[in-house]
Amino acid sequence: MSLSEIAVPTFVRLLGSLSGFLDKAAAHAEAKKSILRCCSDAALPRHVSARSAGTACVGFCKGTTARLAGSAPPKYPDEEKAFEELKARLTRTVEFIKSLDQAVISAAADRDITFPGGEGTQRHLVLSGLPNFYFHVTTAYNILRHRGVELGKRDFLSPRGSS
């Protein structure tokens, strides 16, 4: 498999899963007639976007694929306060990832990527980009489950609108 066949579908699929988590969270908040604090808290947006010292799932997937494609990742302001705003960030990120030249990403296996703490392309994708991305998606999933949103394994593995 090429790097683009590993990275792009993985990121796109799980960003779709995360978007589905946010749909269920919004429906849960509406059904309970309460403000689901997980979106106004720093915890959930921090793992979706980049409200912490490091980056979150959006940052890892757009940064990793951009570096593989030899380009700079787009910068988004961290100002989301609602589920729909977080979902819009996910959509922008999927559009960016899909816009990158897949052949250039695949060819990255033959070149080094300059990244602090990284050693070569495949090591960066496999040992840094993907594990960090999975960590933040899983943490967002767990935050929402802890807050009472009914999410299960199928929500994680079978995103709505995945390609």
**Per-residue pLDDT tens over the stretch 21-57:** 999 988 888 887 665 555 555 677 778 876 544 468 8
72 in a structural domain: yes
pLDDT band at 161 (very low <50, low <70, confident <90, very high): very low
24 in a structural domain: yes
109 in a structural domain: yes
Distance CA 47, CA 146 (A): 15
The total number of structural domains that make up the chain: 1
163 in a structural domain: no
- What SS3 state is found at 80? coil
Q: Which among 155, 125, 149 is positioned nearest to 28, based on CA atoms? A: 149
Q: Which among 149, 80, 63 is positioned nearest to 114, based on CA atoms? A: 63
Please determine, for residue 15, whether its predicted confidence score (pLDDT) is greater than 70.
Answer: yes
Please determine, for residue 84, whether its predicted confidence score (pLDDT) is greater than 70.
Answer: yes
- Report pLDDT for 129: 84
- Mean pLDDT lowest for which of 1-5, 72-76, 94-98, 114-118? 114-118
Q: What is the mean pLDDT of residues 128-153?
A: 90
- Token readout for 126 is 């496999």
40 in a structural domain: yes
What is the CATH number for 67?
A: 1.20.120.450
Q: In which domain, by residue range, is 102 found?
A: 3-157
Distance CA 58, CA 161 (A): 18
Please determine, for residue 123, whether its predicted confidence score (pLDDT) is greater than 60.
Answer: yes
Distance CA 125, CA 128 (A): 6
162 in a structural domain: no
- Token readout for 23 is 């749909």
121 in a structural domain: yes
Other Cβ atoms within 10 Å of 55 Cβ, number:
19
Which position has the higher pLDDT, 55 or 86? 86
Q: What is the mean pLDDT of residues 158-162?
A: 59
35 in a structural domain: yes
The CA dihedral of 5, 130, 128, 82, to the nearest 10 degrees, is: 130
Please state, rounded to an integer, the average pLDDT across all residues of the chain: 82
